[in-house]
Amino acid sequence: MHSTTPVKQVGQKGSFNFLALVEKYRVLLIFIVLCVIAGILSDVFFTMSNVMNVLRQVSIIAIIASGMTLVILIAGIDLSVGAVMAFSGAILSGALTAGWPLALALLAALGVGLLFGLINGLVTARFGVPSFIATLAIMVIARGMTLVYTKGYPLVVSNEAYRFIGSGRLFGIPIPIIIMFVIFGFMYWMLKYTSFGRYIFAIGGNEETAILAGINVRAIKVAVFGIAGLLSALSAIIYTSRLMSAQPTAGTGIELDAIAAVIIGGTSLAGGKGGVTGTLIGALIMGVLDNILNLMNVSPFYQSIAKGLVILVAVLVDSKFSKMKK
């Protein structure tokens, strides 16, 4: 008598599927491999001081990238984050120099970032302007406003309480690192457990379907760009606090690093797929890469080539796995 028990095939539910496992954790695997290579190439890479240095350096880009993740999840892009960061920092430094209380100066900087983000969202959602064009225009405007406000010179700050944000420590951990993890923890919770997060994925997956489902797409888009602008201002606060001055050229090119971190982290440029966990790992990959190249005294010119190659490989890998799943 023959047995009627079905035989499990590779890839069926309940069986071990190595390819699916690699696809799910590929960004983390890349990060681990890169850390192992870095540890082999440099004896100081895994020292606590160096690890903290990498995390502190990554924090500014990572915070901006977390906001960029939301924008890309709705199939948008935000090129203005670096310029908004610069102008927010300039406003903050100017306010402190003018004698404003620290709390009020911080609120002013955050308000500037939020305002620019909301403008991006309104222009994109209300008037249908592609986010690439809308945020490019805001980037140019914000950068110009920064140069006009600062007259092209750094604005030096001498507020010791403010210095704590960028250079202080809590339980031995640098404050920027704590802020970074708090932001990512909140963003993870928001995307996974709130209706706002589900709406973001729905809009990125299929905007027309989201509209038919009764989602207020315009409001969600405005909110997403507003969050991106707010986080740009938060990064400005940390950056300016570390330097104790607002640089008119601050944030130049940081939008590309943020986009790269999001892409490396596995978020699709087409929208609707990805998350902030991958973005954090993507930012760490870029930070580790920069760190090991610096430890090896590699020229900054070659560092740019290396980062470009990593981004290209990440996109190719994502494309390969996407085709294999179809």
pLDDT digits over 114-140, tens only?
999 999 999 999 999 999 999 999 999
Running DSSP on this structure, what letter comes out for residue 76? Answer: -
Global model pTM greater than 0.85:
yes
Q: What is the mean pLDDT of residues 184-198?
A: 96
Helices (H), the chain: 18-41, 48-73, 81-97, 102-127, 131-150, 160-167, 175-193, 195-205, 207-212, 217-243, 254-264, 276-295, 300-325
pLDDT digits (tens, 9 = 90+) for 283-317: 999 999 889 888 888 888 888 888 788 778 767 76
pLDDT digits (tens, 9 = 90+) for 38-47: 999 888 899 9
- Helix axis angle for 48-73 and 217-243, nearest 10°, is 160
